[in-house]
Structure 1
Amino acid sequence: MNYQTLQVRFQQSICYIQFNRPEANNTINDLFIEECLRVLAICEARATIVVLEGSPEVFCLGADFQGLREDLLDGQKAAQPPEPLYDAWLQLATGSYITISHVRGKVNAGGIGFVAASDIVIADESAQFSLSEMLFGLFPACVLPFLIRRIGFQKAHYLTLMTQPILVQQAQVWGLVDAYDAQSDVLLRKHLLRLRRLSKPAITRYKSFAGELYELLYRSKPLALASNQAMFADPHNQKGIIRFVETGQFPWESE
């Protein structure tokens, strides 16, 4: 299996998916989403555990603004269609395997979606988490159903409005991170030693039950997709994104 945006390996029934767009800070584009969905479809049959990882410095920084700028200047689509990414997070949250995000370094915007959709989040001491969308006239419409499920409305609300990063210690207090350590690789191995004892049928039944128990992820999907599309189609927001990519200036900064 060859992928352009991911590095994938199976170790018995454990699938390791490493985000591999170092030149773009592991940002999310169409191919990234397509390849994630392709791997997760294979995991339905082959895996009991899926481990998501980024680089030591960056887990995932959200939407690929550089790619979006190029599309807009070429007169192409206004933004990545949001449904495939939402479906990837749904698959992580409800699929027939245990999902673990192993976070090192920065996580922002859509990267938080992968974290919030995971069953277990393990981090090292360098991890920090942010939602920067409001700085660009956007808000994390597709992330919020998953994030609210994990940490509750008010903390997700605060993180959205403040736009500034929180460190791993605060993330654990809020429930966004389940466990962290300076040696997160060792911590991950300890979790895997325990989790690999669980059978595929037991995991499948439990994840199906948990998905039905918390229906917000499904009920929120139409609203989240519509809100996301409207924000990215707004010419004012598009102009701000293009300017940020070209100059590094945020929308509120004077030219």
Structure 2
Amino acid sequence: MAMSMNYDTLRVRLDDDILFLQMHRPQAANAIDDTLVREIGAALHGAEGAAKVVVLEGLPEVFCNGADFNEIGARLERGAPPQDPGPLYDLWHRLATGPFVSVAHVRGRANAGGIGFVAACDVVLCDSKATFSLSELLFGVMPACVLPFLARRIGPARANMMTLMTQPIGAAQALDWGLVDGCEENSDNLLRKQLLRLRRLGADGVARYKRYAASLDDTLRHARPLALQANLEVFSDPANLAKIARYARTGKFPWEAD
């Protein structure tokens, strides 16, 4: 069971049939590393059959800041190959199509791969200070694995706009675009209200509906090989890796002088 494991990057709580997963890497702004991906996957697997709702949360100031640049820099120094994007894509696909209602509760900043977690979930709630951004092109890379999920939620044109502009959008704009389904200053209260409603649903009905919904739209499965290929291409480019490693080491963006 999910509750019986010890996690390094998560805080896990099962409340009746609602599984709460809090990403908890405060020292890394909740950046995504291999351990986080593996542990969220294990928690979902461990709660299979017990949870009909999964609530994914971050920290009060940051939901998830995207890829862990320090880990990417360390891999570069070791001469290790690029991180396999497959497990993260498959995790987002599980959140999108699994036999449960997935709820993203966003407070603070959601950036880059953090948008993948947001866009993959069935329901997205946020506080009024939340921001949403795709910063990848600033470093020469792109949100290859995020885009199938984001375009599915807000449409290709707006996903394209977020990718090219790299600029954060606020909670109000995210709500208007459909990236967010509900926003209140006190998002904890908003989450409680929505969970009261979701508790009324039967687990079998939720699972049956999610299977049917996934069968109507197979774009995520078809997009997978293209997304993984594009991800590996940009994260194998030495120039891009040098920019990322420099930022991890100095905090300076590619256009800033040494």
TM norm structure 2: 0.97
Name the structure 1 match of 2:206: 203
User: 1:143-191, CA deviations, whole angstroms, 9 ceiling, x for partnerless residues?
Assistant: 0000001000000000000001000000000000000101111110100
* Alignment equivalent of 2:164, drawn from 161, 171, 177: 161
Q: Hey, what does 1:47 align to over in structure 2?
A: 51
Task: Report the equivalent of 1:137.
Answer: 140
More off after superposition, 35-44 vs 227-236: 35-44
Aligned residues between the structures: 254
Counterparts of 1:33-44 in structure 2, within 5 Å, are 33-44=37-48
Tell me, which stretches of 5 or more residues in structure 2 are unaligned?
none
Partner of 1:56: 60
Are 2:113 and 1:110 aligned? yes
Q: CA deviation digits over 1:30-74, x for unaligned, max 9?
A: 011000110111232110000000010000000000111111112
Q: Shift of residue 252 of structure 1?
A: 2.5
Q: Secondary structure at the match of 1:46?
A: coil
TM-score, scaled to structure 1: 0.98
Report the equivalent of 1:244: 247
Give the alignment partner of residue 191 of structure 1, picking from 181, 191, 194. 194
Which residue of 1 is the match for residue 153 of structure 2?
150
Equivalent in 228, 232, 240 of residue 229 of structure 1: 232
Distance, in Å, in 1 between the alignment partners of 2:175 and 2:100 is 23
Distance apart, 1:245 and its partner CA: 1.2
Report Cα offsets for 1:90-144 as digits up to 9, x if no partner: 0000000000000000000000000000000000011000000000101100000
Task: Find the residue that maps to 2:7 and give its secondary structure.
Answer: coil
Q: Confirm or deny: 8 A CA contact 1:43 1:97 kept in the other structure.
A: no
1:95/1:204 contact within 8 Å kept: yes
Distance in 1 (alpha carbons) for counterparts of 2:47 and 2:90: 15
The runs of at least 4 consecutive aligned structure 1 residues that moved more than 4 Å come to none
* Aligned partner of 2:123 among 120, 144, 161: 120
Tell me which of 59, 81, 98 is aligned to 2:84. 81
2:212 counterpart of 1:214:
no
Shift in Å at residue 214 of structure 1?
1.3
Quick one: percent identity of the two aligned structures? 53
Query: Residue 51 of structure 1: SS of its match in structure 2?
Result: strand
